[in-house]
Structure 1
């Protein structure tokens, strides 16, 4: 049994008019791939899995990959905090942030830029949980894991809301996966296209009109 929800290539999502979509994006989206409520329920289950796995590990240092990961990170930690309040045992949580950039328009630039993380020495000897929005080819996460490993954490696990099913993948798989999705460019729930669509509640597939409208070129 898979430990993630697989969205099939044949699944084209839900019609936009079945959901509340901001008017300024109505002409820029193909469909709603993952509704906000489904994301919330899946996040709650991932939080439970993480707490069960790390229950006896001591404090957890949660590292959010910005900017796209901030919404998933916030919701995941809220679920973990709720479990901490209502369980016999609880996990102390610390938080930090790092920013990586590898995309320009809908293409990977081939160069991964680390724009944050000056205080990663705090990870030394800690149990680290890296929280990411999406793993595409896996190259970005592999680079981040190499960076983190230099600070000698006690352990490192990765939780990603999405993993893209693509022939460009290097084969990397996170420890915790929310959804495996087709090779489409998705936006919303803090995932962006050139900084647009972060204010969209659902995860949607962008259309060609949206790509053209918000292109940097």
Structure 2
């Protein structure tokens, strides 16, 4: 599957766009982005417009699979909020223009699993006291990015204890990792190389959330915002 400028990607077998390891990305000079991040980024991995179009297609796939069932959308904060908001809006638009009405309630859970650009062994779940409300419900978890899958597996384990009727997972990004048993969501937008990315609400120590494109941060940016 080729995108603008020759995006080195192909259609994945699990309904996702696969961006190859040798994809050089887009030059930052081709796009506008916040001036306070000048010098902190390597390149644009996925432009905002492609994210929007891909999210619209994911919404169509999810709406077709869910039918007219009521669902609880569980947004994983903080990185998932922008993807979740856009995905839910697309699903609502499809529902309004369809004979099948999808009733959605959006709830939130916050996970913390990174220190700087390194994944931590221990994952913290904030807001899990409310998970008991998911009993007997159709749940769609919306995440920004899945790497090793350890964080998502831990969250799913907690949710499954509450005995929901159904659980589906949608993630904007999936990282290719060396782990052969890595978790695969039911829906995902892009499979990317094992690199650290920011933008479209994905952060590095709370910075870069206001960046519309998904970009690769450089060493200067990591050093500048390290904690």
Residue matched to 1:17: 29
1:190 Cα offset (Å): 0.2
Question: Would you say 1:49 and 2:68 are equivalent positions?
Answer: no
Unpaired segments of 5 or more residues in structure 2? Answer: 1-11
Residue matched to 1:81: 92
Q: Deviations over 1:114-157 (max 9, x none)?
A: 12232111100000000000001100000000000010000100
Residue matched to 1:27: 39
Please provide the CA RMSD for this pair: 1.0
Distance in 2 of aligned mates of 1:137 and 1:109: 11
Question: Would you say 1:154 and 2:165 are equivalent positions?
Answer: yes
Residue pair 1:28, 1:208 contacting (<8 A) in 2 also: yes
1:170 Cα offset (Å): 4.0
Question: Would you say 1:207 and 2:223 are equivalent positions?
Answer: no
Distance in 1 of aligned mates of 2:70 and 2:191: 29
Residue pair 1:4, 1:178 contacting (<8 A) in 2 also: yes
1:166 Cα offset (Å): 1.3
Distance in 2 of aligned mates of 1:21 and 1:77: 25
Question: Would you say 1:193 and 2:204 are equivalent positions?
Answer: yes
Distance in 2 of aligned mates of 1:117 and 1:169: 29
Residue matched to 1:129: 140
Unpaired segments of 5 or more residues in structure 1? Answer: none
Distance in 2 of aligned mates of 1:104 and 1:169: 24
Distance in 1 of aligned mates of 2:110 and 2:174: 19
Residue matched to 2:177: 166
1:169 Cα offset (Å): 6.3
Bigger mean CA offset, 68-77 vs 109-118: 109-118
Distance in 2 of aligned mates of 1:188 and 1:172: 23
Question: Which portions of structure 1, spanning 4 or more consecutive aligned residues, are displaced by more than 6 angstroms?
Answer: none
Distance in 1 of aligned mates of 2:131 and 2:45: 35
The equivalences for 1:82-101 within 5 A come to: 82-101=93-112
The TM-score with structure 1 as length reference comes to 0.97
The secondary structure found in structure 1 opposite 2:190 is strand
Residue matched to 2:6: none
Question: Would you say 1:145 and 2:156 are equivalent positions?
Answer: yes
Q: Report the number of matched residues.
A: 215
The secondary structure found in structure 1 opposite 2:95 is helix
The TM-score with structure 2 as length reference comes to 0.93
1:99 Cα offset (Å): 0.2
Distance in 2 of aligned mates of 1:169 and 1:70: 29
